[in-house]
Amino acid sequence: MGVVRLASSTSASSMVAIVAVLGLVLNLAVVCNGGITSTFVRTIKYSADMPLDSDVFQVPPGHNAPQQVHITQGDHQGNAVIVSWITADEPGYSGVIYWSADSKNQTAVGVVTTYTFYNYTSGYIHHCTIGNLSFNTTYYYVIGIGNTERQFWFTTPPEVGPDVPYTFGLIGDLGQTFDSNRTLTHYELNPLKGQTVLYLGDLSYANDYPYHDNVRWDTWGRFTERSAAYQPWIWSAGNHEIDFAPELGETIPFKPYTHRYYVPYNASGSTAPFWYSIKRASAYIIVLASYSAYGPSTPQYQWLETELPKVNRSETPWLIVIMHCPWYNSYYSHYMEGEGMRVTFEPWFVKYKVDIVFNGHVHAYERSERVSNVAYNVVNANCTPVKDQSAPVYVTVGDGGNLEGLSTVMTEPQPDYSLFREASFGHGIFDIKNRTHAYFSWHRNQDGYAVEADSAWLFNRHYYPVDDSKSIRA
Ligand SMILES: *[C@@H]1O[C@H](CO)[C@@H](O)[C@H](O)[C@H]1NC(C)=O
Ligand SMILES: *[C@@H]1O[C@H](CO)[C@@H](O)[C@H](O)[C@H]1NC(C)=O
Ligand SMILES: *[C@@H]1O[C@H](CO)[C@@H](O)[C@H](O)[C@H]1NC(C)=O
Ligand SMILES: *[C@@H]1O[C@H](CO)[C@@H](O)[C@H](O)[C@H]1NC(C)=O
Ligand SMILES: *[C@@H]1O[C@H](CO)[C@@H](O)[C@H](O)[C@H]1NC(C)=O
Ligand SMILES: *[C@@H]1O[C@H](CO)[C@@H](O)[C@H](O)[C@H]1NC(C)=O
Ligand SMILES: *[C@@H]1O[C@H](CO)[C@@H](O)[C@H](O)[C@H]1NC(C)=O
Ligand SMILES: *[C@@H]1O[C@H](CO)[C@@H](O)[C@H](O)[C@H]1NC(C)=O
Ligand SMILES: [Fe+2]
């Protein structure tokens, strides 16, 4: 207890002026009962939303030009893409023209939808699935008509297989502040080059505005287009997507979210867009819903019960779960909120040897050891989490930078299972190398783009179930 040592990372503040004065900022860390509680100190805890006239919110020029363009995986295997965008003035055209270096132009036509929220009326929201794409291939696509055509591109993942390297970005609770913009910029300029974002819930934070001002859903869509139009963002829903507002006459939960963000839930046999799965390269990704019913007999429970046995680890060695609310969280913020779902699903995670779980919700970063807490049965006293080599690593990356600020207060002492925690804005990278090894890193916004404030090698639970807790902090 109380041992002070230098953490392995030396971080340079992104505030160049301060760096020039101080030189390198040494990052002290305190080792408590558990792992490391980083003592890195940020100067500002809160940051304001970017004003409506910010550069990142600019409406593209031209009458009815497509805006808020974003893509996500469109099927279970990874050779379809859902392209979504909004036209503000009139329905326009829901078609996508797309081609690769080896194929001639093809066209797919999607659907258009709208919604109202209190006194807000959405633009025309288009969703078009383009399928039968070749793997590992760059496609160009064009949306809009006449003078307002806009062109983008994306690269499909390699065909699913056990040794296909692939790099995922982890972003959660992004919002639309100046810090959010820094997080997205750091993700884009990270030399580890994420190929797909696993989004950990809480998107626009529009509901923090009076009347849930849905204009802030539109600004968020324009802000994130610069990444989400070029690489898929795999969506999971957070509490800020619920938008349940009976005082405004809005009683359909998730109304803005489900109209704006389509996901391929149907392809994995799910009956609702809040829980589903995809395969991508060597990963099997299960998206769970912290804000949908999960108890026995519920649709989500039944789906997960039949889903987990379907995962073929010989084909997709890396079993990743994403959901908004963490089960293992040693911050005051949202403390124990995840307990109900943990009690319900944790035995399955251990049985099926989930490799890693990514969460948002808590506006901070935390990484756990492989730990489980499945022995407790109310009458025995076995209620302490124990090290468990069949259990996942739990990582909270809820630090995208939204207007609610950071969760800085932590429970003390740091629990044994908590290996590293710090309340700073940033993003994560999960870099799968092959069937046995993956490298996780966390990048705080104050550092240079290449700096890893925390990192760990993960050994695959199916192919290489060796204790990886000591491999930590490469
Ligand atoms: C394919 O579509 C794009 C966008 O509309 C257009 O610029 C291009 O000329 C088309 N190519 C062919 C061969 O038709
Ligand atoms: C919605 O109602 C609020 C409160 O009356 C008002 O401030 C706002 O301007 C209205 N917005 C629209 C789009 O009418
Ligand atoms: C893929 O091709 C098949 C056969 O032509 C077609 O039935 C199916 O709709 C296509 N899928 C997509 C998503 O375009
Ligand atoms: C993907 O294509 C690139 C060339 O474009 C090639 O170098 C790479 O090996 C391919 N990856 C897979 C997994 O097929
Ligand atoms: C957001 O970040 C981008 C890229 O760094 C920058 O060009 C832009 O000016 C920033 N906008 C705001 C409002 O901070
Ligand atoms: C998707 O939904 C349709 C309509 O409800 C259903 O017929 C189909 O079986 C579902 N599953 C897939 C994989 O398309
Ligand atoms: C699992 O995947 C492997 C590799 O693709 C394949 O050979 C095997 O048949 C699959 N097993 C099942 C039960 O589908
Ligand atoms: C898998 O990747 C790790 C880390 O890059 C490397 O050390 C190991 O040799 C690789 N395994 C194989 C079989 O290539
Ligand atoms: Fe949240």
Catalytic residues: 334
321-345 confidence digits (pLDDT tens): 999 999 999 999 999 999 999 999 9
Percentage of the chain beyond pLDDT 70 is 92
Span 4-28, average pLDDT: 33
Q: Which residues surround ligand 9, an ion (CB under 5 A)?
A: 202, 238-239, 361
* CA-nearest residue, atom 2 of ligand 6: 266
- Give the separation between CA 69 and CA 30, rounded to whole angstroms: 44
**What's the whole-model pTM score?**
0.93
| CA distances from residue 274 to 25, 34, 223 in whole angstroms, order as listed | 42, 34, 23
* CA-nearest residue, atom 10 of ligand 6: 266
450-470 confidence digits (pLDDT tens): 999 999 999 999 999 999 987
pLDDT attached to residue 81: 98
Structure tokens at 230: 């070029």
What range defines the domain where residue 451 resides? 162-201+274-473
pLDDT attached to residue 459: 98
The least confident of 11-15, 56-60, 95-99 is 11-15
What is the 56 CA–ligand 5 centroid distance (Å)? 6
pLDDT attached to residue 43: 67
User: In this structure, is residue 250 part of a structural domain?
Assistant: no
238-280 confidence digits (pLDDT tens): 999 999 999 999 999 999 999 999 999 999 999 999 999 999 9
Q: What is the CATH number of the domain that holds 197?
A: 3.60.21.10
User: In this structure, is residue 321 part of a structural domain?
Assistant: yes
- Give the separation between CA 103 and CA 415, rounded to whole angstroms: 55
User: In this structure, is residue 227 part of a structural domain?
Assistant: no
pLDDT attached to residue 29: 45
Cα atoms found within 13 Å of the Cα of residue 81, Cβ hemisphere only: 29
Pocket residue to mutate for ligand 3, from 132, 134, 139, 266, most atoms within 8 A of Cβ: 132
User: In this structure, is residue 179 part of a structural domain?
Assistant: yes
User: In this structure, is residue 393 part of a structural domain?
Assistant: yes
Q: Is the pLDDT of residue 77 over 60?
A: yes
Identity (one letter) of the amino acid at 77?
Q
Structure tokens at 129: 């699935």
In contact, 65 and 59? CB cutoff 8 Å: yes
Q: Average pLDDT over the chain, rounded to whole?
A: 92
pLDDT attached to residue 326: 98
Pocket residue to mutate for ligand 1, from 96, 99, 152, most atoms within 8 A of Cβ: 99
User: In this structure, is residue 285 part of a structural domain?
Assistant: yes
295-330 confidence digits (pLDDT tens): 999 999 999 999 999 999 999 999 999 999 999 999
Q: Is the pLDDT of residue 165 over 70?
A: yes
pLDDT attached to residue 134: 97
437 Cβ closer than 6 Å to some ligand 8 atom? yes
User: In this structure, is residue 169 part of a structural domain?
Assistant: yes
191-245 confidence digits (pLDDT tens): 999 999 999 999 999 999 999 999 999 999 999 999 999 999 999 999 999 999 9
302 Cβ closer than 6 Å to some ligand 7 atom? no
In contact, 99 and 105? CB cutoff 8 Å: yes
Q: Domain count of the chain?
A: 1
